[in-house]
Amino acid sequence: MEEMKAREEINSLREDLNKYNHEYYVLDQPSVSDAIYDQKLHQLKELETAFPHLITADSPTQRVGGEPLDSFNKVQHQVPMLSLSNAFNENDLRDFDRRVKDGLGVEEVTYVCELKIDGLAVSLRYENGVFTQGATRGDGTTGEDITSNLRTIKSIPLRINETETIEVRGEAFMPQRSFLALNEAKEENGEEPFANPRNAAAGSLRQLDPKIAAKRNLDIFLYAVGQWESGALTAHSERLEHLSNLGFKTNPEWEKCATIDDVIAYVNGWVTKRSDLSYEIDGIVIKVDQLVYQEQLGATAKSPRWAIAYKFPAEEAITKLYDIELSVGRTGVVTPTAVLEPVKVAGTTVQRASLHNEDLIREKDIRINDTVVIKKAGDIIPEVVRVVTEEREGTEQPYHMPSQCPACDSELVRLDEEVALRCINPNCPAQLKEGLIHFVSRNAMNIDGLGEKVIEQLFEANLVKSIADIYQLKREQLLPLERMGEKSVDNLLQAIDVSKSNSLEKLLFGLGIRYVGSKAAKTLAMHFETMNNLKAATYEDLIAVNEIGDKMADSIVQYFSEEEVQQLVDQLKDLELNMSYLGQKPKVEEIADSPFYDKTIVLTGKMEELTRPEAKERIESLGGKVTGSVSKKTSLVIAGEEAGSKLDKANELGITVWDEQQLIDALNEMEK
């Protein structure tokens, strides 16, 4: 096929597929069968394969997810993404109404009420009608570039009929059916299920591999505008309608309210109807409708004065507390948990609730066989609120925490005036198992396929009792185990072998040294460079490191003084685990002379010699700050091949522009 004909056919197929996507995912009114959609998508893929230079970012074929990323770039929000202040009852809403009217000096204000979707706030940027960048809210000023992951959400249009630069905002979320399917799959794989759809959505969009996000079936509702040059619209309600007309998916349940009484009626209606929705909501957002009023009211440093979020009260239920069970964590903390008569709370059946510690049990006078009130804190974690003492019949039994560990029978102690009771036996089986689960977790050694249930299975089979045992597992030991086929065993052993090459900070965090989190582990690894150097470090050496305090320094010295720890480290070294920091280490003595020092730098276009993550890491190691968008604060733009709108904007603002070779020359000069 000639290129001109192919281009025409590709454009026609894209137009049809974008139309079908909008009908199916936004309007919920499909006009063609899945078979017809799949046939046209297949035709488009074949044409783009034959003419790869005709592939564009807004093609429907680009929703499957690209190559995995090494990290997320930072994005500066040109208009801050502020959080909302909260209202918890009718009086709070009436106070908000009074403040709005007093601030404006008027007696009547129209409000728009919208469902508060329980997901992840994101921004979408369109340039000349094409979706060019998507970002998380972050701290409101700086977010993370998650464009590749957002591109996989089929309800997000990749092209709109708008030539102006426009940035819109909304809530990405996971529908309940997707959430249930995801957790079923995770449980089958022996992985920890997500606690709620919000965590699942956030976790999906912060995956470095966009193909994982593509499988999670996320959705989105758009509800606001960040940057928009058009001044034709005068009300928030008009903006919602215009967003819908542009092809964005907006929540259809929004409503204009002429008075605060109407607002309260709307809120009360959804308190009971929320369980009927196919997605989670955690409240109602109330906004002043008139845009001119919004501008007059302005905002505080944290939140706009013209909007408020009504948070639904935590749903409570009454049930019976039959028993109190104890669990031992990896640090030895013994945690009591209430065993309850099953009761439904906030849409799920609850049978267990956290009791936190012995002091809380005493303070609330919780007894075995008590009738108790429970709720879900933040609609997530069940907890006992109070005892219904008037229901007591005299058979209730006060509870006393044991003096011995429930897992190993060692004496429990309180350290450093802590509230928690601890088991300090280093060979406690419960601690060993929890320590192994922590070691293989995503932020530690990240061993794919070795989730909590698999660790428990290996532990019960006496195949792993220490970290070193993981690296001595044999194929013939694993094959007889339940749900361990040949392919899954081979994949698991390969993942274990790959983890040996992790940088030192992953191993340090995985070891579970008290007070050493993932950030401190990287700081230590970067500073000391090798495990041997860190093992030999004194208290004085450690506290001299930025961000390492007294408690952490003491803990590290104590940890490496233990003979068992020294043996473990030697054993892991013999098993060929990497013991060195593999990241880029800043050359502190040269950094102030760097051309990147204290500069804000943007990378754009295709790099030939460097990958973008490599360039970012090397620039930041020399004191530069790499961001995702060009603004007046940008100091330097590095433009590779096919650089687009960012290069144009840099030229408009008179910002210095380098090509890739200039960047490489400067990096090489500084890194000599």
Q: Each residue of 170-219: pLDDT tens digit? A: 999 999 888 888 877 776 665 667 767 888 888 888 888 888 888 888 99
Contact indicator for 144, 81 with CB cutoff of 8 Å: no
Helices (H) and strands (E) in the chain, counts: 26, 24
Strands 86-87 and 307-311: parallel
Distance CA 595, CA 628 (A): 19
DSSP string, 553-576: HHHHHHHHHSHHHHHHHHHHHHTT
Q: Is the pLDDT of residue 670 over 80?
A: no
Q: How far from 527 is each of 117, 516, 523, 547, 614, CA to CA, in Å?
A: 43, 14, 6, 11, 20
pLDDT tens-place string over residues 236-248: 999 999 999 999 9
Q: Is the pLDDT of residue 229 over 80?
A: no
Q: Is the pLDDT of residue 46 over 60?
A: yes
Please name the residues in contact with 371: beta carbons below 8 A apart, sequence gap of 6 or more.
318, 319, 320, 321, 387, 388, 391, 392
Distance CA 489, CA 285 (A): 49
Average pLDDT (514-539) is 89
Predicted TM-score of the model (pTM): 0.52
Query: Using 50, 70 and 90 to split pLDDT, how confident is the model at 305?
Result: very high
Q: Is the pLDDT of residue 590 over 70?
A: no
Largest CA distance in the chain: 89
Average pLDDT (460-483) is 91
Q: Is the pLDDT of residue 380 over 80?
A: no
Per-residue pLDDT, 125:
94
Per-residue pLDDT, 103:
93
Select the more confidently predicted residue: 258 or 358: 258
Per-residue pLDDT, 346:
66
Joined together, the tokens standing for residue 221 give 């509702």
Contact indicator for 660, 668 with CB cutoff of 8 Å: no
Q: Is the pLDDT of residue 262 over 90?
A: yes
Which residues carry out catalysis? 116
Joined together, the tokens standing for residue 277 give 């929705």
What's the DSSP call for residue 54? G
Q: Is the dihedral of CA 12, 15, 17, 19 positive or negative?
A: negative
| Beta carbons within 10 angstroms of residue 81's beta carbon | 21
Per-residue pLDDT, 499:
95
* pLDDT-wise least confident of 40-44, 159-163, 187-191, 524-528: 187-191
Q: What are the residue ranges of helices labelled H in 445-598? A: 452-460, 467-470, 475-478, 486-499, 504-511, 518-528, 531-535, 539-543, 550-561, 563-574, 588-591
**Residue 525 backbone phi and psi in degrees, to 5:** -65, -40
Q: Is the pLDDT of residue 122 over 80?
A: yes
Alpha carbons within 13 angstroms on the beta-carbon side of residue 208 total 9
Strands ordered across the beta sheet of 166-173: 130-136, 120-127, 166-173, 219-228
Q: Is the pLDDT of residue 333 over 70?
A: yes
Contact indicator for 164, 129 with CB cutoff of 8 Å: no
Q: Is the pLDDT of residue 33 over 90?
A: no
Per-residue pLDDT, 187:
62
Per-residue pLDDT, 49:
85
Contact indicator for 357, 418 with CB cutoff of 8 Å: no
Q: Which domains does the chain have, with CATH numbers?
A: 3-63 (1.10.287.610), 86-311 (3.30.470.30), 316-398 (2.40.50.140), 429-499 (1.10.150.20), 504-574 (1.10.150.20), 588-670 (3.40.50.10190)
Per the rule left: phi > 0, alpha: psi between -120 and 50, beta: everything else, 190 is left
